[in-house]
Copies of this chain bind each other. A is one copy, B any other.
Amino acid sequence: MIISMRLHASREEVDAVCERIQESGYKVHTIQGEERVVIGAVGVGDVTQCLESLQVMPGVENAVRISAPYKFVSREFQPARSKIRVNGVELGGDRFVVMAGPCSVESEKQIMETAEAIASAGGNVLRGGAFKPRTSPYDFQGMELEGLKLLRKAKEAIGLPIITEVMSDGDIGMVAEYADILQIGARNMQNFALLKSLGRCGRPILLKRGMSSTIKELLMSAEYIVAHGNPNVILCERGIRTFETATRNTCDISAIPVLNELTHLPVVLDPSHAAGKRSLVPPLARAGVAIGADGLIIEVHPCPEKAVSDGAQSLTIPQFRAMMQDLRPLVELWNASRAAQAVAIA
């Protein structure tokens, strides 16, 4: 921690601050500047609590933390990229990954038809919601257990691993029985009770960034899961909330290279929720591959006009096929670049 004192802080104020720092287990290091005193706290102590109390002590201008607040998820802790394997698919590895499927599981016909189309177009994982977080209590809330069973059926028939959302710690056991990857929605990114339970669950987790969460907070939520025992976390940028209304959310595409600098965890992009509008999904998907995401998660529906949710941002099956075709040369560049990196490291 670095504490800068006000311009005319008194001797007593400086002393009180030093004392408070020492109480928290740190050593004190004082710099007497031209205009003001700056104090460094060196060592290991109870940083959050100490910081907060310093911020309001008399004579203190400002107190900031220097060390990163997360550990296990940081590149400093583990420099090499994490690879998360699930049923023959590897996230963070040397092949770009595409997850796709409908927002909600609606019927056997719908999920089967979509799964088949996704597999045949080159998709790697099937997404589909059985538990749906909806802003309105009057909107469709998902098929729940029945939806999970349809997902399993699709998996057995088509062979794609399944990703689906879990919204409550009470449901983790049931969902984990059917799903290969558990998805945590943006609104639950700081549902700490849920995060702790996920730490004790054996499945990989795809953690979506909250719509007004900072990158640092996303990493802290991942740290919750890892610190409670589950190292298999995939991060997902899905757009943040800003003043712009031309898109449903603002796709913070820079989050991908920023995360690649800060963490070893895989990062995927969800262009469907970021844009909220079908026609913007393919260009955003191209940007996601080019900027170095590890994969995409895309909403696809055999008949978006009839979808019970997210119809506006779902691709039709022919549109998904066209997008996969369009992405091919970019994905080849991506694969070649990862292969080159692997050689460089080896």
A→B interface (CB under 8 Å): 2, 4, 6-8, 20, 29, 31-36, 38, 40, 42-44, 48-49, 52-53, 55-57, 61-62, 64, 66-67, 69-70, 76, 133-141, 167-171, 187-188, 190-196, 211-212, 214-217, 220, 223-224, 227-228, 240-247, 250-258, 261, 274-275, 277-280, 283-284, 286-292, 304-312, 329-330, 333
A217 proximity list for chain B (CB < 8 A): 135
Q: Are B290 and A330 in contact (CB under 8 A)?
A: yes
Q: Which 9 pairs from chain A and chain B are nearest by CB?
A: A212-B212, A290-B290, A168-B193, A287-B287, A187-B190, A257-B283, A53-B305, A52-B311, A286-B290
Q: Which of A135, A139, A214, A286 has the most CB of B within 10 A?
A: A135
Q: Are A307 and B67 also in contact (CB < 8 A) when A220-B135, A253-B253 are? A: no
Chain B, Cβ-Cβ closest to A248: B254
A278 proximity list for chain B (CB < 8 A): 56
Chain B, Cβ-Cβ closest to A326: B337
Q: Are B305 and A280 in contact (CB under 8 A)?
A: no
Q: Are A252 and B250 also in contact (CB < 8 A) when A42-B34, A283-B291, A286-B291 are? A: yes
Q: Are A33 and B43 in contact (CB under 8 A)?
A: yes
Interface of A is mostly: mixed
In the assembled complex, 23 residue pairs joining A and B whose CB atoms fall closer than 8 Å, in A order, are: A7-B76, A8-B76, A33-B66, A38-B66, A49-B311, A52-B310, A56-B277, A56-B304, A61-B66, A135-B217, A136-B220, A137-B195, A137-B228, A168-B193, A188-B191, A212-B212, A212-B241, A244-B255, A246-B258, A261-B279, A283-B291, A287-B288, A287-B291
A169 proximity list for chain B (CB < 8 A): 168, 170
Q: Are B309 and A52 in contact (CB under 8 A)?
A: yes
Q: Are A69 and B136 in contact (CB under 8 A)?
A: yes
A252 proximity list for chain B (CB < 8 A): 242, 244, 250-251
Complex Cα gap A18–B129 (Å): 30
Given contacts A169-B170, A244-B252, list 16 more A-B pairs with CB under 8 A: A29-B31, A49-B140, A52-B307, A56-B312, A134-B192, A136-B223, A167-B193, A187-B191, A212-B241, A243-B243, A245-B245, A246-B255, A250-B254, A254-B280, A283-B292, A330-B333
